Amino acid sequence: MTGEGAVRLRPPRNAVDRRAVAWWRTRCLMATAAPAAVLGLLGALVGPARAWLVPAAALVAAAGLAGTAFLPLWWFRVHRWEVTDEAVYVRTGALWQEWRIAPLSRIQTVDTVRGPLEQLFRLGTVTVTTASSKGALRIEGLDHELAAALGERLTSLTQATPGDAT
């Protein structure tokens, strides 16, 4: 798209809520704890395999703790979002960053979701579904009230935007 009023790739202006760091850390710890506990338990119960199961559990736990310390802070620095009168902008990722734009005329549905952990941290996720084969845009780690207001705003904006969302 070129010319006046064209939607172009640019850095989104808004950061996610700071509580998202704790939410992401909790998710990382949960993803690490289960395999480390299973390996450690098997190592304790299965004598002949103890020589490799216990060190494997320690390795999984160490890698998980390192990831838990580093990744959520990195994600907080990278994840950005913005909604304008023309489009939704989202930047996510860690090592491979993804920047996406969804013109309002292409939006088909807007969903606001709050899983159990998100509820605990008073956060929410807004999912914007478009006609793109790439899939929906997800804005995670928003304050739950902001997520609800953003869902309502996007719904109003898309209803007022001409286009067929295909």
The DSSP secondary structure of 76-89, one letter per residue, reads HHH-EEEE-SSEEE
3-state DSSP helix/strand/coil percent for the chain, to nearest 5?
50, 25, 25
* More confident of the two residues 9 and 17: 17
Is the pLDDT at 37 greater than 70, yes or no? yes
Query: Which stretches within the chain are classed as H helix?
Result: 19-45, 50-78, 116-120, 144-160
Task: Report whether pLDDT(35) > 90.
Answer: yes
Task: List, for residues 93-103, the tens digit of each pLDDT value.
Answer: 888 889 999 99
Between 59 and 2, name the one with better pLDDT: 59
Q: Which residue has the higher pLDDT, 161 or 97?
A: 97
**What would the two tokens of residue 110 be?**
């807007």
Q: In the structure encoding, which two tokens stand for residue 77, read together?
A: 């620095």
CA 20 to chain centre: 9
Read off the pTM. Answer: 0.85
Mean pLDDT within 101-113: 93
The answer to whether 8 and 88 are in contact (CB under 8 A) is no
The tokens describing 19, both together, are 């509580």
